[in-house]
């Protein structure tokens, strides 16, 4: 039996990835399901609901259905022709499609090694498309096996224990590696891109609009490849990035993102290109600042558009610094989403072949967070910021975290003026 709880309101469909809606479930509701197919849950009361590729919509776990005792052990069949000391077992055989990082556990942050593309792999188990490799470590096959194609096969195995001829070999653990985005964040400062009504272009007041106009605006924030005003060079929309858009949003939302006129895609080009812009209200890492002709500019970290191994989503630790929500925030902090009120996420990307991939913006368009270390009113010192989904934490020297902000507001004397982007 599967038990879980909805994080967001979810539509219920007639089948996995179905198009016929049969109902909905409100947020913060407990659910019970009987089976899971690629994160689609078959509800006990009928219908299927998507939990999200990383359970970002519904957190769930498998629990025992009853207290019935386990079945008795199987008695060997005397007619079995299998040789003594051997049996068959189910194992997982597969082949990598792209380079894949191997981690210490499913959704882990400690990277152990890398498997190249087109490599044969063997695994002993899988948990939500994370494969436990026979030679150690876990690797993500992708929610639709788009990174590693695999299947369960049976093969004979010798179960006779080998003689103990020597002392066991102890392999030292690899050095602990931080999450890549966290490592970059530690070298810079975090800032929030000002929403439209905070923009100095409009004297920090809402723009005037006609009765026929809209109450919110695209709020795109432009970047340049040099410390200057303007958009600078466009960025090629590579196959890796379009694949990543599917991982983040699903196929349907990806099509909407790539529609001309949504504020991300240029007039059709071959190959496609995107502009050097992102959306206000999102958080960024400021790598450095520079004053040019009495104007301060900030260099912002972005992902390379030519990265071949893109992983992580908006709900992973610190990934909000490079995965930005496509939205508009009104003065009342209400949010307008893409298309039919869809959640939509895009990676903030740059082209490393253009001026080393630098992304510059006038600093006046940013609200830079309080410099660290920051001392709270109770004397607690914060040495690092951590972002988990919609929550912001401060890390103490002893490794413990303090909640600084959640959707209900600030929890300490630590504050920023910018509104929180809703989830």
Per-residue pLDDT in tens (0 to 9) along the chain, 423 residues: 788 898 888 888 888 877 788 888 988 888 988 888 878 888 888 888 988 877 888 988 887 654 444 444 444 444 444 444 445 557 888 999 988 989 888 877 788 888 988 889 988 888 878 888 887 888 999 887 889 998 888 766 444 444 444 444 443 444 444 567 888 888 889 999 988 788 787 777 776 654 444 555 667 888 999 999 888 888 998 988 888 988 888 888 888 888 776 667 777 777 788 888 888 889 999 999 999 999 999 999 999 999 887 888 887 888 889 998 887 777 776 767 776 667 888 899 999 999 889 999 999 999 999 999 999 999 999 999 998 877 899 999 888 889 999 888 899 999 998 887 654
Predicted TM-score (pTM) of the model is: 0.57
In the chain the domains, ranked by start, together with CATH numbers, are: 2-62 (2.30.30.40), 87-157 (2.30.30), 180-368 (no CATH)
Q: What CA–CA distance (Å, rounded) separates 11 from 20?
A: 10
Taking Cα atoms as reference points, which of 214, 218, 173 lies closest to residue 195? 218
- Chain-centroid distance of CA 353 in Å reads 25
What pLDDT is stored for residue 218 in this prediction? Answer: 62
Pairing of strands 189-193, 366-368: antiparallel
Judge if the upstream peptide bond of residue 271 is cis by omega within 30 degrees of 0: yes
The alpha carbon dihedral of 226, 227, 232, 237 has a sign of: positive
- Number of other CB atoms surrounding residue 230 within 10 Å: 11
| CA-based nearest residue to 193, from 316, 262, 315, 285 | 285
Q: How many CA atoms lie within 13 A of 332 on its CB side?
A: 4
Longest dimension (CA), the chain: 89
8 Å CB contact between 319 and 284: no
| The two structure tokens encoding residue 161 | 């224990």
pLDDT attached to residue 294: 93
Q: State the pLDDT at residue 179.
A: 65
Instruction: Kindly write down the DSSP assignment for every residue of 154-215, as one continuous string.
Output: EEEEE-SPPP--SPPPPPPPPPP---HHHHHHHTSEEEEEPPGGG-GGGTTSPPP--TTS-S
SS3 394: strand
Evaluate whether 273 touches 235 at the Cβ level (below 8 Å). yes
Distance CA(336)–CA(343), nearest Å, equals 10
Measured in whole angstroms, the distance separating CA 376 from the mean position of its chain's CA atoms is: 30
Report the residue count for the chain.
Answer: 423
Cα separation, 290 vs 193, whole angstroms: 18
Rounded CA gap, 242 and 315, in Å?
20
SS3 253: helix
Task: Determine the Cα–Cα distance for residues 189 and 300; give it in Å rounded to an integer.
Answer: 10
pLDDT of residue 192: 93
pLDDT computed for residue 53 by the predictor: 74
What distance in Å separates the CA atoms of residue 222 and residue 279, rounded to the nearest whole number?
Answer: 9
């Amino acid at each position: 039996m599967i038990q879980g709880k909805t994080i967001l309101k979810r539509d219920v469909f007639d089948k996995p990835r179905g198009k016929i809606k049969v109902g909905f479930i409100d947020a913060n509701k407990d659910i019970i399901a009987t089976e899971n197919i690629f994160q689609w849950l078959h509800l006990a009361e009928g219908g299927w609901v998507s939990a999200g590729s990383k359970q970002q919509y519904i957190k769930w776990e498998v629990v025992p259905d009853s207290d019935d005792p386990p079945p008795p052990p199987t008695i060997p069949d005397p007619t079995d022709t299998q040789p003594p000391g051997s049996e068959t077992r189910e194992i997982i055989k597969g082949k990598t499609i792209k380079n894949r990082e191997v981690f210490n556990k499913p959704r882990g942050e400690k990277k152990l090694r890398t498997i190249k593309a087109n490599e044969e792999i063997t695994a002993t188990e899988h948990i939500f498309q994370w494969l436990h490799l026979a030679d150690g470590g876990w690797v993500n096959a992708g929610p639709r096996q788009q990174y590693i194609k695999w299947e369960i096969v049976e093969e004979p195995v010798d179960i006779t224990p080998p003689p103990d001829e020597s002392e066991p070999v102890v392999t030292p653990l690899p050095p602990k590696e931080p999450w890549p985005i966290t490592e970059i964040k530690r070298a810079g400062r975090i800032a929030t891109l000002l929403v439209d009504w905070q923009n100095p272009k409009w004297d920090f007041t809402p723009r005037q609009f006609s009765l026929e106009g809209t109450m919110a605006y695209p709020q795109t924030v432009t970047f340049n490849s040099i410390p200057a005003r303007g958009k600078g060079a466009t960025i090629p929309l590579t196959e890796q990035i379009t694949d990543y858009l599917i991982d983040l949003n699903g196929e349907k939302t990806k099509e909407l993102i790539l529609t001309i006129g949504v504020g991300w895609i240029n007039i059709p080009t071959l190959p496609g290109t995107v502009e050097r812009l992102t959306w206000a209200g999102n958080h960024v890492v400021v790598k450095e600042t520079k004053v040019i002709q009495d104007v301060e500019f900030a260099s912002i970290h972005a992902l390379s558009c030519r990265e071949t191994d893109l992983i992580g989503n908006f709900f992973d630790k610190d990934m909000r610094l490079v995965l930005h929500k496509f939205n508009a925030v009104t003065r009342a902090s209400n949010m307008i989403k893409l298309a039919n009120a869809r959640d939509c996420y895009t990676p903030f990307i740059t082209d490393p072949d253009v001026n080393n991939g630098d992304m510059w913006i006038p600093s006046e368009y940013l609200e830079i967070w309080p410099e660290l270390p920051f001392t709270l009113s109770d004397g607690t010192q914060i040495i690092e910021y951590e972002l988990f989904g919609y929550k912001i934490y401060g890390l103490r020297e002893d490794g413990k975290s303090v909640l600084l902000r959640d959707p209900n507001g600030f929890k300490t004397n630590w504050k920023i003026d910018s509104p929180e982007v809703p989830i």
